[in-house]
Structure formats: C-alpha cells, structure tokens
Chain A
C-alpha cells in the first residue's frame, strides 16, 4: 500500500515532504470529495425530512418492510468489513487475499443493490412511485442516488480486482485500495443514516 495509515502530523519537515506525496494528495482529494458528498446526501435527507409526511393519495412509510431492509443494512455493513480486510491484505502485499476480499465486497454490494431493486419493485406494485407524492419523490431520489453510489463502488471494486488479477495493479498510482475503501465505507455510513432516518424513525 502506498499510503501508510499513520501519516505524520502537520508542521514538521517530514510532514512537508509527505504533503507532496501523490498518494497523500489523492487521499486528501478523496476526503474532500467525500465532504462534498456529505452536502449532497445531506440535502437529499433534509428534503426527505421536509416531505416525509406529504404522502398525498399514495402510500406512506407503512409499506416499508423493516425486517427485509434490516437484512440489506446488515449485508452492507458486512461489506465494510470485507473491504477493510482487503485493505489490510493490500498493506501486507498479500495480493491474492486482497482479491478475495475485494470480490467478496463486490458480491455483498451487488446483493444490496439486488435487494434495493426488489424493494423498489414491490413499492411500485403497492402504488408508490417517484411521481405519486412528494414523499415518493424524496424517497426514491434519496435511496436511488445511494444505490447508484453503491453501483459505482461495485464497479470500482471490480476494476481493482481485474487490474490486480491481470498483473496491472499499481498500488502507488491511480485508484488504490485505500481510496476505493474510503469511498465504500462512506457509502456505508450514508446508509447508516438513511436506514435510521428514512426507515426506522418512520415506523
């Protein structure tokens, strides 16, 4: 892994040199990007809160299947475990093990997306669509964008996996496992918030 988890503190000469390390700059860029994503999802969650009671003639939160979504949440949480284990393997330069955990993470992410597709299909059958009510619009836009982020994460994981399998993986350049991991864990923590605010608090 190009970037040590324990980066030097700010201020010293070592830190000055470290700040010009492309790997550190990429990691910082990813943190800044995630900061912008906080604002993005924060806006969508705020919008949902504003319209959560505006169900019009359509169904509201009573159609949520909490046990099903709880299992989906558990799957996404466990994908964070497999992701961090992939990162740990990469730090030890155990590339084979890294690929196993990357594939496991992509698989768990895909199962989560499949669950979301199933959930959306059920909701549409029960009369809740993106145009049914402000509640429906806010719900589908928020959870849909989250699902799209998970899908992008799965693509990033698979790209890293196949590059490594093909022997073209350069941990010191481009998208390394730590950067992909930061994105993936971020998607996970966004779901932690969505699961609580959108699903559990509406029960």
Chain B
C-alpha cells in the first residue's frame, strides 16, 4: 500500500482496505456470539475501532491530509468521549436513570 505521507492511494489499496473491513465485520459477528463476556466486549470495541480508523484514514483520506485536519479530528475524537462519559456518569450513576 502507498506509504508516502502525500502519495495518493490506488484503487488496489482501496480494495484491500475493503476486504480487511469485510473480514473484520465477519469477525465481529462471530465474536458477538461467543459465550465469554470478558472477551466479547473489549474485542468488539477493538474491532469497531479498527474499522473506524481504517475508513477515516484511507477512505476519508485523513492519513494523507494536512496537520490541521488531523488535529481537528483528534481533538474531536478525544473530547467527544469525555463529554459523553460525563453525561453517562451524570445520568446513569449520579441521577440513576
């Protein structure tokens, strides 16, 4: 696959990513039916994160974008879970809804 910071990926790269995404999706479904909660939840989160980053990096081209877009994206990526974690904590634990 193209590795240069500003090199454009080729259709072959895109097809490879799509195959990896399909394999991960199949793995997710298989993992979801495992009878082992301790493994299932972290595995599903890791697999979903892998798909998320593959689409963002390759299909949305963030991997090849300027630092400005990358910083904006990572800022949102870090702040959003903090915000929603706070909401979950507030309503779920403190208020008990």
Contact = CB atoms under 8 A, between A and B. Distances in A.
A185 interface: yes
Size range of the interface on A? 35 or more
A31 B60 CA distance: 10
Contacts of A175: none
Nearest to B51: A192
A7 B11 contact: no
B48 A5 contact: no
B25 A73 contact: yes
Nearest to A10: B68
Contacts, number: 128
Contact of B59 (A50, A84, A193): A84
SS class of chain B's interface: helix, strand, loop or mixed?
A: helix
A37 B72 CA distance: 14
Contacts of A188: 55, 59
Given A50-B91, A200-B32, A201-B41, A6 B59 contact: no
A35 B73 CA distance: 8
A77 interface: yes
Nearest to A73: B25
Q: Which 6 A-B pairs have the closest CB atoms?
A: A6-B6, A196-B48, A81-B18, A200-B32, A7-B66, A46-B84
